[in-house]
Amino acid sequence: MLKKVAVVVLPGTSPFEFGVVCEVFGIDRSDRGTGVPAFDFTVCTPQPGVIGTKTGFTINVARGLDAADEADLVVVAPYTDSDPLPPSVVHALRRAHARGAWVMSVCSGAFVLAEAGLLDGRRATTHWQYSRRLAEEYPLVEVDENVLYVQDGKIITSAGTAAGIDACLHLVRTELGASVATAIARDMVVPPHRDGGQAQYIDRPMSLAGCDTLKDLLVWLSENLGQEVSVAELANRVHMSGRTFARRFRAETGATPAAWLNSQRVLRAQELLEESDLGIEEIARACGFGQAVLLRHHFTKALGVSPAAYRRTFRGAAHADSLQPA
């Protein structure tokens, strides 16, 4: 049963993500009459005292890491890793995991779990801005940047900022049931569960780095996504055989021509959903998918949400109403 919660803070902690954990587990909501428990919540740090935050103000933390040894859940808040990670934090997390406690990170806190070796051979996530670095520094970790949170065994990692709410509520739902998670979410005025992942929030402009031979072709394609072109036609444009073109295209872009085009068309659809009032059929044609059903398929596959849901997130419900339901 999830009763005792300890959140580990380090110098340079991010106040919002730290506050998310405090909001979910640190407020007594037992009077709601919905079975919500009053968690035994503690903030701890390697050296108790005044801790500086990322935004300049300080917090006073009275408990040391011994609090983590008593917790059913140990949460690592994000922090600025300008200083080496104290070995005492690594040992505390390993002890918690070894005795079967839940261990969770929010945002860049995943680096702390990775440094402790708890993510080796596991799937994990972090804020999309840090995902490549996490994968490079800890190659034994299977980093998934397209999700809001990952549970692998009794270890949970979450993406940036508000994804910490999703991860916390997921754990509450897992341990205490949907009604408790919904009651906490309602009190926080947030959805108890969000669809999709952080893929929809990642800024992925077209990169031409390393595309020496095909740079001009890729620019042309990006400007003419609405046109139907075959691989043979593309190969002719750059005076290559089909086989040579396919090999060169993958070498320079890391994808097949079809996959690359689909990704660029999804990006264009994102732009139109955010910036225009075009309907789904018009957007499908403008992006080169031709039919709304194909746009919905590729969009949802790439981003984990439908075009209508994406528009609601980035333009509001009034704009989403201009799309026909899927």
* Residue 111 within any structural domain of the chain: yes
Choosing from 155, 171, 199, the residue where a domain stops is 199
41: closest CA among 23, 19, 55, 25? 25
CB 2 within 8 A of CB 72: yes
Q: Which two tokens stand for residue 263?
A: 């990704």
* Residue 205 within any structural domain of the chain: no
Q: Provide CB contacts within 8 A for 101, sequence distance 6+.
A: 71, 72, 73, 74, 154
* Residue 326 within any structural domain of the chain: no
Amino acid at position 148, single letter: L
Q: Which domain holds residue 136?
A: 4-199
Residues 25, 161, 155: CA angle, nearest 5 degrees? 60
Residues 190 and 250 in one domain: no
* Residue 208 within any structural domain of the chain: no
* Residue 103 within any structural domain of the chain: yes
* Residue 209 within any structural domain of the chain: no
CB 271 within 8 A of CB 283: no
Q: Which two tokens stand for residue 111?
A: 């680096």
Confidence (pLDDT) at 33: 64
CATH of the domain at 261: 1.10.10.60
Confidence (pLDDT) at 200: 52
Residues 25 and 150 in one domain: yes
Taking 70 as the pLDDT cut, the residues of the chain under it are: 33-34, 193-212, 315-326
Choosing from 143, 165, 199, the residue where a domain stops is 199
Residues 106 and 147 in one domain: yes
d(Cα 68, Cα 223) in Å, to the nearest integer?
Answer: 55
Residues 164 and 249 in one domain: no
Could you report the per-residue pLDDT of 240-277, keeping only the tens digit for each? Answer: 998 898 888 888 777 888 888 888 888 888 888 888 88
State the total domains in the chain: 2
> Distances from the Cα of 239 to the Cαs of 188, 234, 235, 251, in angstroms?
60, 9, 6, 17
Residues 185 and 222 in one domain: no
Q: Which two tokens stand for residue 176?
A: 């205490």
Residues 130 and 172 in one domain: yes
292: closest CA among 302, 279, 305, 303? 279
Residues 153 and 270 in one domain: no
Q: Which two tokens stand for residue 143?
A: 């980093």
Residues 171 and 288 in one domain: no
- Integer-rounded Cα Rg, in Å, for the chain is 23
Residues 190 and 242 in one domain: no
* Residue 182 within any structural domain of the chain: yes
CB 287 within 8 A of CB 225: yes
d(Cα 116, Cα 310) in Å, to the nearest integer?
Answer: 36
CB 29 within 8 A of CB 38: yes
Choosing from 139, 164, 199, the residue where a domain stops is 199
Residue-wise DSSP of 87-126: HHHHHHHHHHHHTT-EEEE-GGGHHHHHHTTTTTTSEE--
* Residue 46 within any structural domain of the chain: yes
Q: Provide CB contacts within 8 A for 312, sequence distance 6+.
A: 319, 320
Q: Which two tokens stand for residue 154?
A: 């009794």
Could you report the per-residue pLDDT of 165-206, keeping only the tens digit for each? Answer: 989 998 998 888 878 888 898 888 887 766 556 655 555 545
258: closest CA among 241, 234, 276? 234
Confidence (pLDDT) at 193: 66
Residues 168 and 235 in one domain: no
CATH of the domain at 92: 3.40.50.880
CB 214 within 8 A of CB 252: yes
Residues 219 and 182 in one domain: no
